[in-house]
Amino acid sequence: MVNSLIVVPLISSLVTAAVISGIWVGAYYIGVKPNQKSDSSNSDPTNQGSASTASYPVSASTASHPVLTTPCIQRSPCEYRLVESIPWGIFTNGEKVMNSTSSAWLDLVNGAESSIEIASFYWSLLAEDTGDNFTSNDTSTFEGRDFYNALINAGKKGISIKIAQNTAVGGYPETANLEKNGWAQVRSLNFTNFEGSGILHTKTMVVDRKHFYVGSANYDWRSLTQVKELGAAVFNCPCLADDVGKILDVYWQMGVPNAQIPDKWPDSVATVYGSQNPLSVRLNQENDVVYFSASPPDFRAGARTGDIDAILNVINTATQFVHIEVMDYAPTTLYMQRNYYWPLIDDALRNAAFQRQIHVRLLMGRWVHTYTEFYSYLYSLQNLNVSLPCLPRGSKDCKRGTIEVRLFEVPPYKEIPNIPYARVNHAKFMVTDNTAYIGTSNWSGDYFISTGGIGMIIQAGDSSQTSQVVQELNDVFIRDWNSNYSTPITDYDLKGNPINSNNL
């Protein structure tokens, strides 16, 4: 049976939106030093407009983009690894953990033969670039240093290294050093110039157009040992690697000084793959279908599916459960001068539980930078649980959906209790009974409207078969959900204060 779930028409409607300048602060800058914020964070609020509160921007329909390139045929199996970063000191009681992010990154760079292409938010691989007066040389900082040295060695060997990064006042010392020594070419993207607000938030690496990484980990030593991250590393897979590379080609083009978004993207960066035409490929020994989504809408070329469209499609095609793990969740925009309601994902989850009796579980990260308003949003979502109907009504075999919300909190690192912007669940993934989604974006409107991000969507090629790739991702979610670091939203009040006997 050919998989039909991934080609179900997307139900998100086309809505035109005016997105004006935003202020990007707080937890959006996980790991960024206060004195090296994005240019957009320093924009003059007096010059900022307000976004309409009546419209909910989504990415444009994929049907509006013509097919421009020839499909790729992947004849040999690809090596697929689910990789994660586990903050030091947790999951020490024999819990199963996946391959490490740092080992996958080193394998990618050390195996490079001709080219390394990177899309990044910011750079803080070396302990001395941590900022916030951080001075420790703890062993947990070494993995970032080792990866940075591997990049230097690749550059010295003549490997072509291209880095597209989010713009920052003063730049980043690490990429400046690579460029100064002729080890890498570096371009910076200012999304305020392109979209009126936003940043490049993608975390991706493509090697030799054969191997790649997509996931939540920033190019930061903390993302390897002090922040919980999740991604996919795929080797010997030129069809998929080239398709991710086309997204990086877009970034590279937009990193040219004074670049402007073209009316039509060139054929060279266009894809034929999307939700309605995924790429058939063997991941390990399994026949799967895969495509990559992207945001914002202006940065999509060819048949590329919008990231929000992909997320909604995954939710809307679930038949049993939807499990989500993400650092931030809000049915609003968060970083605009005038934020507004943006309920696309929230509505889809409520509809799934109410109309289709889907079991929804949302696990959000909790840390010192969690916004207070998130708690009321999460309560609102879970409180629908008490009113979900048993359908069909009157039937002894009726079924009822569920919505459960929990928070995942990483305890402090005993060796260094106060590492800035660390010890948080920064993963961004979703898994259903039939689909895996691995992304680079938090779940609020800004990330899909005006911010650069990528999603990787995977299903079994035969919908009658259970995908081991999907099952493995769900195993990670269940491990996290049932862990000692996960607590129900009801353990906190509407302002995020823990509820205990002293509060009663």
Is 203 one of the annotated active-site residues of the chain? yes
Q: Which two tokens stand for residue 504?
A: 């009663």
- Residues shown for the chain: 504
Is 146 one of the annotated active-site residues of the chain? no
Written as one letter, the residue type at 452 is G
Q: How do strand 115-120 and strand 286-295 relate by DSSP bridges? A: unpaired
Q: Which two tokens stand for residue 179?
A: 């460029």
Please check whether residue 349 is in contact with residue 310, taking contact to mean a CB–CB distance below 8 angstroms.
Answer: no
Cα 195 to Cα 472: distance, rounded to the nearest angstrom: 37
Is 65 one of the annotated active-site residues of the chain? no
Cα 449 to Cα 197: distance, rounded to the nearest angstrom: 9
- Main-chain phi, psi angles of 282, to 5 degrees: -95, 115
Distance, CA of 159 to chain centre: 28
**Set 37, 243, 428, 480: catalytic member:** 428
**Set 208, 249, 288, 480: catalytic member:** 208
Cα 349 to Cα 462: distance, rounded to the nearest angstrom: 25
Query: How many CB atoms neighbour CB 59 within 10 A?
Result: 26
Cα 474 to Cα 429: distance, rounded to the nearest angstrom: 10
**Set 203, 211, 228, 246: catalytic member:** 203
Written as one letter, the residue type at 419 is I
Is 428 one of the annotated active-site residues of the chain? yes
- Whose CA is closest to 82, among 361, 436, 465? 436
**Set 65, 246, 323, 426: catalytic member:** 426
**Set 346, 433, 446, 480: catalytic member:** 433
**Set 65, 162, 201, 228: catalytic member:** 201
SS3 category, 381: helix
Active-site amino acid positions: 201, 203, 208, 426, 428, 433
